[in-house]
Structure 1
Amino acid sequence: MRRFIYNSVGFVKVLTRYLLMVFFIGIISSGIALGNYSAEIDHSELKKSPDGGRPDSLLLQLRTHYARAVHDKKEVDAARYLHEMGRVMYQTGYYPQALDYYQQAEKRFREHRQDEPLARNLNDQGLLYYYSHQPDQARQHYDKALAIYQQTGNRAGRAETLGKIGQLYEKQQRYDSAFYLQRQALADYQSVAHQPGIAKIYENLGSIYEDLEQYDSAFVNYNKALLINKKNGDEIAQIEILNNLGDVLRKTGRYRQGLAYSWQALALAQQKGIRYQLTGAYNDLAKGYNLLNRNDSAYYYLNLSRKYQTDIYSDEANKQMALLQTLYDLEKKDNEIESLTHEQERARLITGAVVLIVLLVVVVGGLVISRQRLKLKNEQALRSQNEARNQLMLLELKNKKLEEESLKQELEIKAKELTSHTLHLIGKNQFLDGLRGTMESMVKDEKRDQKKQLKQLIEQIQQNITHDDHWDEFRTIFDQVHQSFLTRLQQQYDHLTTNDIRLVALIRMNLDSRDVATLLGVSTDSLRVMRYRLRKKLNLPQGDSLSAYIQSI
């Protein structure tokens, strides 16, 4: 009986955590129904429906406002409504449709250089890829968002993105990198006194410690997050943290203390009326009582948890059906609009063709009439020309004689110019031929061995200059990416050589030893000696990680 209850509790626990994850993703990543995006969209336009903000009703409202924005040519507002529609589809599990809306919004944000909304859009796309088990795509979008926040100087946005990347590393069990990024995010949040963000990072750190089974550290960080959320009055965030604290205590055998936290979570969930949290709280109570061998109580609370789960699934199924019907209706309406648009376009084309034909008939008729009038004028002009032509013929004969005499004189002048030009070319060629002979004599007198050595020296100098140019180019790009890291390094350790600085830069890039040795052109044994000498120059104590120290500079 106890094993059955324990296994049932474990199964319900997994389902509950999934439901809670979806619920909190909806709260954190969207804020649509609550109006958290009011800095960009006037949510007073979105009517509060009695159905509690059902996704189908919300999607219809957003589509209406999107169509209005497109009609009014407000491209930025249209992009924001597309982003919101993507979030609605993401929360209800329609990832392909959500991605399509996100990408349409991203395109408009980029075209109109809306950096902050673009960064949020990229973070949301990264979250979608994260929960679609595509970590590489998620990381690419997080990196793009991070670059924007660093450029705009938004430390809160940077901290949020670093926290997401840290969670990605935690999922991949890269705990050192996860710790490093979460602490960077914590420092950014603290620098702007962003209390909800600070609480979230402490919760993330607690999760990493819990994965590593360092339960005391996990408890400390969860408790810090709880205290901040209590101070801020964020009761929804408190519920999840109280559940986490209860889990930690149960894992360390402090079952009764864990139950106390589960009861607090249940009280807050009942107060807020959040069924997802009620399911989790009852499930935690069932697990705690099961561990205390109070199976009757465990079975009772497990049944309550399952009841709420059944209600949630039923409600979600109804919402899914309503959303599917809405999507079908929207698609049908879009097809009808597209068909009507095509018919209107055909009508416009036919009307335009008729107008064009009428214009062509008028133009052709006008051209015919004009041509006839022009023909009559030409005949009259031709008669006048014939009369004048006879008079001009006599004058032309006289003019031809004069022209012949003039041409003869011009030919004589051209002949003289040609002769002068020919003599000039001959003289120039003689001069160039003499100059060529003189230069050939000079070349014959030179020492060829000395000339060969000079060429070799020039080639060697050029090779060395090219090599230094490559290093200068690498250093310039490296300083841009790592924010003057090499400058800070030389200020702290001015006795480092050029090779030392190159080794530090490659270690900073997280390259493995084989790649570093290849880039420096040395063996792995020589690289070990170089790393040992570098540790001595940096006065690094034995046992401390050289890579971690360089990352912290």
Structure 2
Amino acid sequence: MKSIKTAENKCQFLYECGEFFYSKNVIKSEYFFNEALQLSKGKNNTMEGKALLKLGFIEKNRGNLSTSLRYFNKAKDIFKSTNDSVRFASIHFDMGYVYRYKNQKEKELQFYKKGLEFIKEKDEELMGKGYLHLGRYYTRLKKLDSSIYYYDKALEVFKKNNQDDRIYNVYNNVSNTYYRQGKYKKVIDIRTLVLNYAKKENSKLLITVNYHNLAAAYSELGSYNLALKYLDSAIVVAKENNFKIRLSKSYNSLAKLNYMLKNYKKSYKYLEKHKIYSDSIFQSQLSNTIEEVELQNKFKIETKNLQIINQKQAFDKKIYLIIISALLLLGIPMIVLLYRNSINKNKIIEGNLEKEKIKKEVLLEKFKRSEIEVKNLVADNSMRLEFLKQLLTQLKEQRKTYNSVEVKNYIKDLSFKIQQQITTESKLTLLKKKIDSVNDGFDNMLLTVYKELTKTEREVCALLRLNLSVKEIASIRNSSSDAIKVTRYRIRKKMNIPKNQNLEVFIQNLGV
């Protein structure tokens, strides 16, 4: 590295290192692409765009979809400004692929079609890439004739150019069509072929995808032990490379498979792991969405300030022109009148500026409240509740079939724990709606009237206002009953509530 003299050559070296580690070690690859990006900013637009593109792929594979789109959008703008028509067209396919995982079908198709429109047969390989994406799109819509049509067009392009990696990629997707047609043996033949190629090329993502899909095919054929084996392999590879989307999918499949095999305890364990990774992906997207909203609001505020300054400058210029014209045409008496008029108008402008300043402050305050609301959103758990209810019903039915008292007691104990989980999660789902409707403005009132209350004490007040018990509040806040009792005592003391007065009734009677 020290022997490389020019910054341009250093950027190229760092970028090539990132590409070398891309399918071998994601963390090292990300490090080199980031170094190339920092070194090329403002100096080498082409390299900056390429590094942003690669970082977008890494974030996409991790499940950080909003971050991935942010990288892709920056790269797209650079490719457009440098008239790099091939990369500009190509990145539309990549962005469409991200919208696929965000389940935004209209945007996905829109970007695929734009990519094909921009390329206009200038690059055969890229045309093949676009056909491949459209094949996948129509497979998921179950329009299998359309998907096969685009897969054949993609294969024709890739075979013509002897692109083995692309050919196997098409095979990989053709197997999805066979899967939907119920031709599971064909799926296994093709997936095995692609898996061997992926291992040869050491393509970690392709390896874990094919392990997962081989498991799905074997499961459909009733070969459950083989399915479990391939799912375990998929998880090992996904963990090594922090592929959160793949981990979420594989743990979900393991939960369903163990449920079919009546391994309810394992099924529940894997469902919880699936929840951890799916919630992690959701939180990542939520965090990135908040950051995007923050940037948008900051931009709006800065734009508004700039408009106000420009308006004032434009008005001042008009005033000066009027004064000069008046001097030439009407003389000093008219100038005096105009001067007074100018002072009055300046006062009006100052008043308007003050109003705009207040509006800006209100906008900032609204955004802060919106940010708090967004950060407090939780993932919808209706599917998980339904699964737990089905599992509980199945356990109750299974308990009747066993004669062993020990087995019956074990199933009874497990059923009780699952019932507790259902009750808690149902209550948490309803709690969010209650807090939104009941506690609107309540926290602001507490801040104004009882300034000594801490944030924790105000939150407990809000839950007491919903008439929840100490045990329920402790469960919701992941705390002990003793801790909640201590908090209640502090609230009573700070609010000066008499000992003979019920705390819940006092709080519920507070006006907002």
Pick the structure with greater CA Rg: 1
Which TM class, normalised by the smaller chain length?
A: 0.3 to 0.5
Q: Which of 1 and 2 has higher RCO (CA within 8 Å, sep 6+)? A: 1
